[in-house]
Amino acid sequence: MITPIVPITGTTGTSPNSPVTLDPGGSVQPSFGSYLQSALNQVTDLQTQSDKAIELAGAGAGPDVHTVMIQMEQAKLALDLTVQIRNKAVEAYQEIMRMQM
C-alpha cells in the first residue's frame, strides 16, 4: 500500500497551502505550492482508491473486474504524468544550472 505524501513545513510558519499571490484585480490567488500539493493529493487518492478496489475484488466483495482495471489504469496514468512532470522540472533546473553567468 502506498503511503500518502506529507507536506514539508517551512521555517517561516507559513503552510504550502496559504494563498500568497495577488492578481491584477487585487483578489488573492492560491500559490503554486498549494496547486501542486492539491494535484499530488489527487494522485495519491487515485492510488488509494485503486488499492481498495483491488483488495475488495480479491475478497469477492468488490466491483467487477472491468471497474477495477479502469481504476488501476487511471491511477497508473496519473502517476506516469506526475513522474513526467517531475522529470521536466528536473531537466529545466539542470538546464538553468548549466547556464553561464
Whether residue 76 lies inside any domain: the answer is yes
Residue 61, helix vs strand vs coil: coil
Whether residue 19 lies inside any domain: the answer is no
Whether residue 74 lies inside any domain: the answer is yes
Residue 34, helix vs strand vs coil: helix
pLDDT digits 0-9 by tens, 44-53: 999 999 999 9
What is the number of domains present in the chain? 1
pLDDT digits 0-9 by tens, 3-54: 777 776 654 545 555 555 555 666 677 788 898 899 999 999 999 999 999 9
d(C-alpha 36, C-alpha 89), whole Å:
12
CA 25 vs. chain centroid, Å, equals 29
The boundaries of the domain holding residue 80 are 30-98
Q: What is the pTM of this model?
A: 0.65
